[in-house]
Amino acid sequence: MNVVVIGSGPAGVMAAIRSAELGAQTALVTRGAFGGMAANDGPVPVRTLAYAARLMRDARQLERYGVTVSSPRLDYERLLERVRQVVAEVRDHSSLRHEIDRLGVRVHEHAGTARFGDAHTIEAGSGLRLPADRVVLCPGGASRRLGVPGSELAATHSDAWSLREVPRSLLVVGAGMTGLQVATVFHAFGARVQLVQSGPRILAAEDPEVSAAVAETLRAMGIEVREGIGTIGSLEKTAGGVRVHVSKDGVRDALEAALVVTTIGWVAETTGLDLAAAGVETDARGFVQVDDYLQTSAPHVFAAGDVLGRALIVPPALHDGYVAATNAVQGRALRRESSPDPIGSFTDPEYAHVGIREDQAPAGAFVVGRVHFGETTRTLIDGRTTGFCKIIAEHGSGRILGCHVVGERAVDIVQVAAVAMAGGLRVDQLARVPLSYPTYAGILARSAYRAAREIDPTLNVLEHRDSG
């Protein structure tokens, strides 16, 4: 059996590995460099830039701890060189790439845009032509652009990460995860940043308490946050950069910056694929439609990753790639199962969650355990007292329904909560886990204890630990 995987992001790489493991002759076709957006234009370079921003922030606190240094100064060219080094190191040392090579997967890098020549043939701009008994589509996604006059004047997040210098002022349109990453990184690097959102609050997919806390912190840092700005009508070039015209309830306004970056969502990267040639259907938004086995409307074509328009993060993409390839080779053998996927962002402040929001919990059937960062020892030691952790639990059983964190190490804290949820721990059980002291993870146990006390006011966590 010949299996062709299109795309070399997390979903595509996992699909190729799984297909080859099952004995199929597997080819992996990628338009650019191996690794897709995650390695070349996503988490790896972005996290490197965010780490530099964190170092700049931490350096400003050294005096509080008796460490005297000169004021930190950013050499952006050297930082970009470091980003390139990290991206290359991740590619060169990727265990997944080593596995791809070990299994004999034929990798066609820089092949250009892949397309269906016919239902069972994949072609690429490089002149490549591959027979395909089965196809796994993992082409990923791309930034959605504004559909208004002058939209070509705005950069995307990808353009922002490729800038050769830090702009003096930046207007970020769209305040989701990506927008906040762009805003906080370049603010740390010295740009004057405006972050605007058409809707009523930033981070609309997050718990409202998280949105409010992050917005308050960003404003305190000096980022101008404007929510509910209304509709964007057009963009125009000015002597100093770009002007964005907006209107709300008949009132017009204009925003201006040296650079405008739009982060308003994602579209499936299916341009040029000619899905119709294989009978693959998409939804109204352009994302590929699949069933629970990740099979498309064409029985021999499966799909995984961002092209589905689901959770646009790496862990579910890896899982989907495994499921799609298994079913492509073995038939409908494996159903895609939902799991508590932790989602977070390495912004400043960090925020993360796993499970449901408080406003999604069944009314009257849940409890909340909330702890502010300033109540814990480690945050006081590190001077990182802004933020909170809250756990949402089912009232009767104590089952953990969700966890939301804003503040230092939020992403890491939520990973622990995700493990607890996957393991079926109740809040009282999590509360008596003797986590090391003083750590950021300790705030999670304290939040669990408060939630457990809402269910059983007689609970004594020390008694539980002694008996456990």
pLDDT tens sequence across 269-324: 998 999 999 999 999 889 999 999 999 999 999 999 999 998 778 889 999 999 99
Architecture per CATH, 349-455? 2-Layer Sandwich (3.30)
CA-nearest of 318, 313, 335, 307 to 15 is 318
Cis omega (within 30 of 0) for bond into 315 = no
Cis omega (within 30 of 0) for bond into 10 = no
**Measured torsion, CA atoms of residues 139, 143, 148, 154, in degrees rounded to the nearest 10:** -130
Average pLDDT over residues 105-116: 94
Average pLDDT over residues 199-205: 96
Confidence class for position 71, pLDDT limits 50, 70, 90? confident
Asked, colleague to colleague, whether 2-35+94-143+267-330 and 151-264 share their fold, the answer is: yes
Domain ranges of the chain: 2-35+94-143+267-330, 151-264, 349-455
Average pLDDT, the chain: 93
pLDDT at 90 > cutoff 80: yes
Per DSSP, the three-state class of 35 is coil
Average pLDDT over residues 105-113: 94
Confidence class for position 468, pLDDT limits 50, 70, 90? very low
Confidence class for position 96, pLDDT limits 50, 70, 90? confident
DSSP string, 125-170: TTS-EEE-SEEEE---EEEPPP-STTGGGSEEHHHHHT-SS--SEE
Confidence class for position 462, pLDDT limits 50, 70, 90? low
Q: Would you tell me how many other CB atoms lie within 10 Å of the CB of residue 337?
A: 8
Q: How far apart are CA 26 and CA 31, in angstroms?
A: 17
pLDDT at 346 > cutoff 90: no
CATH superfamily of 2-35+94-143+267-330: FAD/NAD(P)-binding domain (3.50.50.60)
Q: Would you tell me how many other CB atoms lie within 10 Å of the CB of residue 265?
A: 15
Supply the pLDDT for residue 206: 96
Question: For residue 150, what are the CA distances in angstroms to 157, 232, 254, 371?
Answer: 17, 11, 14, 46
Give the bridge partners for 353, in sequence order: 343, 404
Supply the pLDDT for residue 119: 96
Supply the pLDDT for residue 40: 65
pTM of the predicted protein model: 0.91
pLDDT at 37 > cutoff 80: no
Confidence class for position 92, pLDDT limits 50, 70, 90? confident
CA-nearest of 1, 21, 17, 300 to 137 is 300
Q: Which of 96-105, 385-394, 421-430 has the lowest mean pLDDT?
A: 96-105
Average pLDDT over residues 189-216: 97
Supply the pLDDT for residue 39: 62
pLDDT at 463 > cutoff 80: no
Q: How far apart are CA 342 and CA 39, in angstroms?
A: 20
Between 464 and 363, where is the model more confident? 363
CATH superfamily of 151-264: FAD/NAD(P)-binding domain (3.50.50.60)
Average pLDDT over residues 74-89: 93
Beta-carbon contacts of residue 308 (< 8 Å; ≥ 6 apart): 287, 288, 290, 294, 320
Between 339 and 10, where is the model more confident? 10
Confidence class for position 465, pLDDT limits 50, 70, 90? very low
CA-nearest of 223, 216, 221 to 170 is 223
Q: Which of 92-96, 97-101, 127-131, 278-282 has the lowest mean pLDDT?
A: 92-96
What is the gyration radius of the CA atoms in the chain, in angstroms? Answer: 24
Per-residue model confidence as pLDDT tens digits over 142-189: 889 999 999 999 999 889 988 999 999 999 999 999 999 999 999 999
For the four alpha carbons of 310, 316, 317 and 321, in that order, the dihedral sign comes to negative
Supply the pLDDT for residue 93: 74
CA atoms within 13 A on the CB side of 244: 30
pLDDT at 104 > cutoff 90: yes
Average pLDDT over residues 17-37: 91
